Amino acid sequence: MLEVQSIRVAYGAATALWDVSLEVGAGELLCVVGPNSAGKTTLINAIAGLNRISAGKLVFDGKDISRLSSHRFCAAGIALVPEGRRLFTEMTVRENLELGSYISAAKAHRADSLERVCHLFPALVPKLEDPAGSLSGGQQQMVAIGRALMAKPRLLLLDEPSLGLAPSIVLDMFRVIRDIHSEGMAVLLVEQNVTMALQVAQRAAVLEEGRIVATGTPDELLARPELRRAYLGLDAEEAVQA
Amino acid sequence: MTLPSSTLLAQSILAGIFTGALYGLLGLGLSLSWGMLRQINLAHFALAFLGAYLTYQLASYGGVDPMLTLLMIVPLFFVFGIAVHWVLSHFKVTPFNSLLITFGLTIIIEAVLQWIWTADYRRLESSYAEHRYRVGELFLPLPELITLGLSVGIAVAAWLVLKRSDIGKALRAAAEDAPIAAAFGINQRALALLLSGLNAALAGIAGVCIALSYTLAPSQIYTWIGVVFAAVMLGGLGRPMGPLIAGCIIGVSEAVTMAVASPSLAPLVSFSLLILVLLVRPGRA
Amino acid sequence: MRRSLTLVLLAGVLLAIVPYLGLPAFYESVLYLIFHWVALATSWNILSGYSGYFSFGHGAFYGIGMYTTATLTSQFDVPFLWTLPVAAAFAALFGIVLGAVSFRVKAVRGELFALLTLAATFVVATIVLNVPLIDGGQGVYLSAVPMPDFGPSPSGTFYLLALGAAVGTLVIALLIYYARFGTGLFAIHDDEDVAEVLGVPTFKYKVAAFGLSCALAGVVGGIQAMFVSYVTTGDVFTVAMPLTVVLMSVLGGTRHWLGPAVGALVITLLLYSFTAGDSAVIGKVAMGVILIVVILFMPEGILGQALKRFGRKPQDRAARASKSQDRAGQASKSRDHAAQASLPPSAINQQLEAAEAGTDSVPASPRPEDAAVGLADAAPAAPGRRAAASGSSEVLLVAKDVAKSFRGVRALKGVNLSVYRGEILGLLGPNGSGKSTFINVVSGHFPATAGSIVFKGNELVGKDAHLVARCGISRTYQIPRPFAHLSVLENVALPAMFGGQLTERRQAEEDAWQWLEFTGLAGRAHALPDDLNLHQRKFLEFARALAAKPELLMLDEVLSGLTPSEIDEAVALIHRIREQGTTILFVEHVMRAVMALCDRIVVFDQGLVLAEGEPQHVMSRPEVVSAYLGKPIEDEHAANVSGVHAHA
């Protein structure tokens, strides 16, 4: 469904991503893990159309979307749950959700989608008319995911959904992500919380300093040293002891 | 300081509301432009006066009803607004530099006005000015009523659109976080151009109202700048009802000051309020 | 500078001869106008151009000056010349009060400050209009006031007064430009927060510049009052006047002391040549068009553009460049020498392991990323030295229960840690754990919500950032924040001028060369930061932080975005810095650098210190591993129970 072919993305004067390639199949849940400053957010933003790629190609559903303007990615079928939520804080929860279905294809199903989001996140129902900025971190994350679902995407992008959230809320979040995926949505998840990410992923890739250094199933990756070294700087021996 | 009669006071308050309505009408475009697009359009005033002069010309010499001139002015100014915004965003002009550039535009427009219509005072003599309604002891002149009606009507319409419609919400979202808004299909550039066109059209409408009620001279452009900025900041940037309400507060306080104390003390009120707002809650503005 | 000063004074003397030449009065009038505007624009520029705080209230202070003279001469019969210093004093007083109040409010910058000063103009105007002693609505006539007669004629006298004002203002602007005061103002223009953190007393400087600017405007106003001999508020307190001054300065170039004068000359001549009838319109239109064109295409102004084209001090640059190339050559030779004597990182690990645990562990197979250059070439510190450094027990900084909240988000919940002199301490932790916030609080960038930070016996919490810098603390920024309009050399010289040492400008520039060589930037000393690549900009951050000769250097993710070989160079640099005796606090994510450099590490998690100790040991602790890698969904409950916030 999504093919990232050897993309290179700049971040200001620096190159953040060097020659990154990966694939997400229809209905698949791919996790990209890696330490901070590895380039995870840059990668997701490039796929969502927020960052321009300076080399390589993005192909979605067979169409080359590399040169599309930012505001056309949503209509192509890609929705983003950004890092740090980035809700429209001055607007109400309901308005945030409605804006998720701004594109005409999604607008037609707005009422149904809204109902579905409320069903998925019952805690939001009493908060619908409150300003989004007044919600707790966990609730905001729910709104952010809901907003993306309202766009009726075929590929859902999640950028570090566990960031800044209390551990029990992270638990709930990942359960929801697992549920959404089980309904057939293709998901690309970028995460710092490796252990939990690998528990929901079907396949995963490790991003370190702007390059993919390993890919495979979660079990395969856990057995390899790249993960431990990338995060903890420990070489093979110490990693085994840890 | 002698207390005036209650009638005089009431009439002053009414006059203040009428003036305030015009402040609001002028301030609306400025507030939306500044709050949503981060562009401070000083040329708004010169544009309004251009509209006023065009109305004057068409009505006095062309025999056209002043209200009908709106049909010509609105589309023309709409296009002009789009053009100005296009230039400012193409050159990625900072908010502060937009202030300076639009000042340059003001100088140009003022010079053109002076060239065509000279520095002499011009007054539009229209049938509207002859109509006055009477409510009890108070007089309500028609031109001022029209201004009030337009100002309130447009402010409410803007408020409704921003609050309820998809486009309004999209604008608000794009103003807060343009990249994420784009991620959901909102084309900030197109919306910004649209808004700029509308703001310029608003300036034109304000111009027609000015022509109906006031004497025109190119130098008058500058007398409005200060007090309308005060209304915009007091009302809060980007809030459609803000300039109107703040404008009325300023207008009324000026009028009451004029009636109760001395007319020349009126500016003290609005500008002291502005300074206070800037110091106490600059973040909101 | 001396050359410019001499030229200005010379020009002043030459121009002073003009009234005695018997030329038609017309020339004196035009020149009077030019001097008048030169003085006004240049005085405006001292605050607004140099520091970036564009004031739209110059008219207020000009008007105060005018009315002071008008009132004193007509009501109190004070001799005209004596009113000028009083006019300056009154205008300065108002400026200082207004500045003191508005500069305290952080959010009032840019367009808000412009509006505030504009509003002030109208307030002053209204007050003046309504006080009968001053104006009372009638305006003030000065025609009865006796003129001083030191000139050949009345118009000659005004000419000389205006000339004096213009020359005086230019000299003051020039002196400030070349002094430390000017450099500080320019730094404020580019990045006020960073300037404050580097030691520039931003509040004092802004108020001083504003006061000076207003005083000068007051003097010009006083002279003008006499010249026009009839003063009304409507003519004086206008919007057009400050906007004209802005136009002139922007046209000429706000970053140079002579810029506004150039702009004033051009605009005055333009307006003067087009005064009659239709031409007046063309003149005004031209002014508007020029302003727009300059902002869009020539933001540095005429003078700025010309200086860019034809270069600044070409001789100086060539001489310095060759001198620095020699020094740079020597420096790199000594670097290579040191590199050859170094040990590979795995060997360091080996030795440490052996020392600590008494076992021999086999180093891992070579990592592909390290193959290119490898930390081997760049780590000169021998393990022995490292052990000695971490053995030092003098405590340099103690943080106790430091808390910081932002609008309800508790970024730091009560951090306790100590930094020992001479060590390299690593601050680690997942995203959002509070490491950068901690650095921002220590440096004074953000005020702490609670807790205490004691550095060499001084309490830092509650101190203005520039005072923290004076104590001997320096930091770099994760995303480099150089002063965009200052050259590399000037960027590095600034902290030397305002940091702990407070050196004079010339000495500071000498010192700056030394730091540029230390970081390998000597060849780009006169370039602007925009011309550097990321690696060089990061090294500029280093050089700038070091120039203040800090005792404690805090590095915030300096290695992010660098290629492996650039990382190695940076690591080598950090070692050299520590060898110089600086203590280093180091926030980083690039783990292999952390392992190679740090004597001790502290791990943050959710705003608190989670663990502390030697790198190898801390990173193997289970609670640290879970903080980084996360806990599995199933054992969430168990992890919550066993999670411990360890302390060394």
What is the full DSSP assignment across C481-544?
---TTS-HHHHHHHHHHHSSS---HHHHHHHHHHHHHHHT-GGGTTS-GGGS-HHHHHHHHHHH
Pick from A83, A88, A140 the residue to mutate for testing the B interface (most B CBs within 10 Å).
A88
- pLDDT of C146 reads 76
Alpha-carbon distance of B115 to A146, in angstroms, equals 59
When mean pLDDT is compared across A38-52, A64-78, A226-240, C149-163, the lowest value belongs to A226-240
Residue C167 lies in a domain: yes
Q: Give the model's confidence band at C181: pLDDT under 50 very low, under 70 low, under 90 confident, else very high.
A: very high
Residue where the block lists tokens 């108020």: C207
What length does chain A have? 242
Does the beta-carbon distance from C116 to B279 stay under 8 Å?
yes
Q: What's the average model confidence in pLDDT over A128-143?
A: 88
> Residue A15 has what pLDDT?
77
Q: Would residue C483 count as lying in a domain?
A: yes
Query: In whole angstroms, what is the distance from residue A94 CA to residue B164 CA?
Result: 12
DSSP state of C145: S
DSSP C151: S
* Distance between CA atoms of residues C646 and C624, nearest Å: 10
Instruction: Give the separation between CA A221 and CA A31, rounded to whole angstroms.
Output: 11
Which phi and psi (to 5°) does residue C33 adopt? Answer: -60, -45
Lowest mean pLDDT among B273-277, C447-451, C516-520: B273-277
Q: Which of B162, B165, B180 to mutate to test the interface with A (most CBs of A within 10 A)?
A: B180
Answer yes or no: is pLDDT of B114 > 60: yes
Q: Which SS3 state, helix, strand or coil, does residue C168 take?
A: helix
A90, pLDDT greater than 90? no
Judge whether residue A94 has pLDDT over 90.
yes
How is residue C53 written in tokens? 């705080």
Q: How many helical (H) and strand (E) elements, i.e. helices and strands, does chain A have? A: 11, 10
Cβ contact B183–A89 (<8 Å): no
- pLDDT at residue C392 in the model: 61
Which residues in chain B have their CB less than 8 angstroms from residue A91's CB?
169, 172-173, 176
Mean pLDDT for C636-647 is 38
Dihedral pair phi/psi, residue C238, rounded to 5°: -110, 170
Q: Among A92, A150, A104, A89, which Cα is nearest to B164's?
A: A92
- pLDDT score of C624 more than 90: no
Q: Given an 8 Å threshold on Cβ–Cβ distance, is A103 in contact with B185?
A: yes
- Asked if the structure places residue B55 within a domain, the reply is yes
Distance from CA of B46 to the nearest CA of C (A): 13
Position A10 pLDDT exceeds 90: no
In a domain, C306, yes or no: no
Q: Answer whether residue A242 shows pLDDT above 60.
A: no
Confidence of residue B3 (pLDDT cuts 50, 70, 90): low
Strands C600-605 and C424-428: parallel
Are C632 and A199 inside 8 Å of each other by CB? yes
Question: 3-class SS at C646?
Answer: coil
Q: What is the dihedral of CA C430, C434, C435, C438, to 10 degrees?
A: -170
Q: What is the per-residue pLDDT across C24-39, written as a single tens digit (0 to 9) for each?
A: 878 888 899 999 999 9
Size of interface B-C (CB pairs under 8 A): 124
Measured CA to CA, the distance from residue C218 to residue C40 in angstroms comes to: 9
Task: Determine the pLDDT at residue C259.
Answer: 93
CA distance C430 to A164: 10
Given C238, C255, C271, which residue is the final one in a domain?
C238
Q: Which residue has the tokens 């008319």?
A: A129
Region at B219 (left for phi over 0; alpha for psi -120 to 50; beta for the rest): alpha
- The token pair at A153 is 């995407």
pLDDT of residue B244: 94
Selecting from C364, C369, C620 the residue whose C-beta is nearest the C-beta of A241 gives C620
In a domain, residue C394? The reply is yes
Q: Helix axis angle, C25-51 relative to C180-197, nearest 10°?
A: 30
Across the strands, what pairs with C410? C405
> pLDDT tens digit string along B60-77?
888 888 888 889 999 999
Fill in the DSSP letter of residue C433: S
Residues 22..41 of B with a Cβ closer than 8 Å to C: which? 40
Q: Are B234 and B250 in contact (CB under 8 A)?
A: yes
Q: How confident is the model at residue C120 (pLDDT cuts 50, 70, 90)?
A: confident
H-helix or E-strand spanning residue A24: strand A14-24
Contact (CB<8Å) B186/A50: no
Report pTM.
0.78
Q: What is the pLDDT of residue C339?
A: 36
Q: Are C554 and C437 in contact (CB under 8 A)?
A: no
Cα–Cα distance for residue pair B272/A78, rounded to 1 Å: 51
Which of the pair, C133 or A47, is modelled with greater confidence? Answer: A47
Residue of A86, A90, A102 with shortest CB distance to B185: A102
Question: Phi and psi at residue C94, in whole multiples of 5°?
Answer: -60, -40
* Confidence bin at C343 (pLDDT 50/70/90): very low
Does A22 have pLDDT greater than 80?
Answer: yes
Report the DSSP beta bridge partners of residue A188. A30, A157
Sole residue written with tokens 């919380």:
A193
Residue C497 within a domain: yes
Average pLDDT over residues C237-262: 88
C478: pLDDT strictly greater than 70: yes
Binned at pLDDT 50, 70 and 90, residue A104 comes out as confident
Q: How many domains does chain B have?
A: 1
Local confidence band at A88 (pLDDT 50, 70, 90 cut-offs)? very high
Among candidate residues B143, B154, B258, the one with its CA nearest the CA of residue B210: B143
Size of interface A-C (CB pairs under 8 A): 104
Nearest residue in A to B184, CA atom: A74
Residue C552: the pLDDT is 93
In chain B the first and final C-alpha atoms are separated, in Å, by 35
Contact between C429 and C604 under an 8 Å Cβ cutoff? The reply is yes
Q: Is the pLDDT of residue C430 over 80?
A: no
pLDDT for C500 equals 64
B36 contact residues in A (CB cutoff 8 A): none
The pLDDT score that the predictor gives to residue C242 is: 85
Task: Please check whether residue B188 is in contact with residue B46, taking contact to mean a CB–CB distance below 8 angstroms.
Answer: no
Mean of the per-residue pLDDT values of chain A? 85
Closest residue in chain B to residue A103, using alpha carbons only: B185
Is there a domain that residue B235 lies in? no
Q: Which domain holds residue C484?
A: 375-634
Q: B137: how many CB neighbours lie within 10 A of its CB?
A: 11
Residue where one domain finishes, among candidates C238, C263, C290: C238
CB A139 within 8 A of CB A124: yes
**Residue located via tokens 């990321």:** C534
Cβ atoms of C96 and C205 closer than 8 Å: no
Q: Is residue C524 part of a domain?
A: yes
Q: Flag whether B183 is in a domain.
A: yes
Q: Which of the listed residues C213, C238, C263 is the one where a domain comes to its end?
A: C238
Give the C-alpha separation, C74 to C72, whole Å. 6
User: Which residues on C lie below 8 Å from A168 (Cβ)?
Assistant: 636
How far is residue C184's CA from residue C166's CA, in Å, rounded to a whole number? Answer: 24
Radius of gyration over every alpha carbon of chain C, rounded to an integer in angstroms? 31
In a domain, B241, yes or no: no
Note the pLDDT of residue C638. Answer: 41
CB C189 within 8 Å of CB C50: yes
Tokens (6 digits) for A158: 């999640």
Give the C-alpha separation, C317 to C311, whole Å: 10
With pLDDT > 90 as the criterion, what percentage of chain B qualifies?
38
Q: What is the per-residue pLDDT for B223?
A: 77
Q: Would you give the end-to-end CA distance of chain A in angstroms? A: 38
* Nearest in space to B251 (alpha carbons), one of B4, B25, B45, B22: B22
The set of residues, in sequence order, having a beta carbon less than 8 Å from that of A2 and lying 6+ positions away, is A23, A24, A47, A58, A59, A60, A78, A155, A186, A188
Q: Report the half-sphere exposure of A225 (CA within 13 A, side-chain side).
A: 15
Q: Which pLDDT value is given to residue C333? A: 42
Enclosing domain of residue B94: 22-222
| Alpha carbon distances (Å) from C55 to A155, B269, C135, C262, C267 | 51, 21, 25, 20, 20
Q: How confident is the model at residue C140 (pLDDT cuts 50, 70, 90)?
A: confident
Q: What pLDDT is stored for residue B184 in this prediction?
A: 92
Comparing alpha-carbon positions, the chain B residue that sits nearest to C278 is B115
Is residue C243 included in any domain, yes or no?
no
Inspect the interface and report whether the beta carbons of C296 and B93 lie closer than 8 Å.
yes
- In chain C the first and final C-alpha atoms are separated, in Å, by 57
Q: Which residue has the tokens 């891992």?
A: C364
Q: How far is B51 from chain C (nearest CA, A)?
A: 19
The nearest CA of chain A is from the CA of C463 a distance in Å of 30
pLDDT over 70 at C381, yes or no: no
Average pLDDT over residues C599-615: 88
Task: Compute, in degrees rounded to 10, the torsion defined by CA atoms C416, C419, C423, C424.
Answer: 50
Show which residues on chain A lie within 8 Å of chain C, measured between beta carbons.
11-16, 35-37, 160, 162-164, 167-168, 171, 174-175, 191-197, 199, 208-209, 225, 227, 229-238, 241-242
Q: Indicate whether B167 belongs to any domain.
A: yes
A interface with B, Cβ–Cβ < 8 A, is 48-50, 69-75, 79-80, 82, 86, 88-91, 95, 98-100, 102-103, 107, 147, 151
Helix (H) or strand (E) holding A3: strand A2-11
Residue B166 with chain A: CB contacts under 8 Å: 98, 102, 107
Tens-place pLDDT, residues A151-206? 999 999 999 888 777 777 888 888 889 899 998 899 999 987 787 888 888 899 88
Partners of residue C122 in chain B, C-beta under 8 Å: 226, 267, 270-271
What six digits make up the tokens of C16?
Answer: 């002073």
Closest CB to B184 among A69, A95, A102 = A102
Lowest mean pLDDT, pick from B176-190, C16-30, C325-339, C602-616: C325-339
Residue C197 has pLDDT above 60, yes or no: yes
Per-residue pLDDT for C351 more than 50?
Answer: no
pLDDT band at C533; cut points 50, 70, 90? confident
Whether residue B26 lies inside any domain: the answer is: yes
User: Is residue C65 over pLDDT 70?
Assistant: yes
- DSSP-derived pairing of the beta strands A211-216 and B132-135: unpaired
Q: Which two tokens stand for residue C255?
A: 């970053």
Dist CA B257 CA B13 (whole Å): 10
Residue B201 in domain: yes
Whether pLDDT at C547 is above 80: yes
- Window from A86-90, B279-283, C417-421 with minimum mean pLDDT: B279-283
- From chain C residues 167-206, the ones with a CB under 8 A of any chain B CB are none
C210 has a pLDDT exceeding 50: yes
| C79 within domain boundaries | yes
pLDDT-above-70 percentage for chain A: 92
Partner residue facing A196 (CB), from C369, C594, C633: C633
Q: How far apart are CA C534 and CA C518, in angstroms?
A: 18
Question: pLDDT at position B128, please?
Answer: 77
Is B172 part of the contact surface with chain A (CB cutoff 8 Å)?
Answer: yes
Residues of chain A found within 8 Å of residue C408, distances taken between Cβ atoms: none
- Per-residue pLDDT, averaged over C147-166, amounts to 84
Q: In chain C, how many domains are there?
A: 2
Tokens of A8: 């290179």
Helix (H) or strand (E) holding B72: helix B69-90
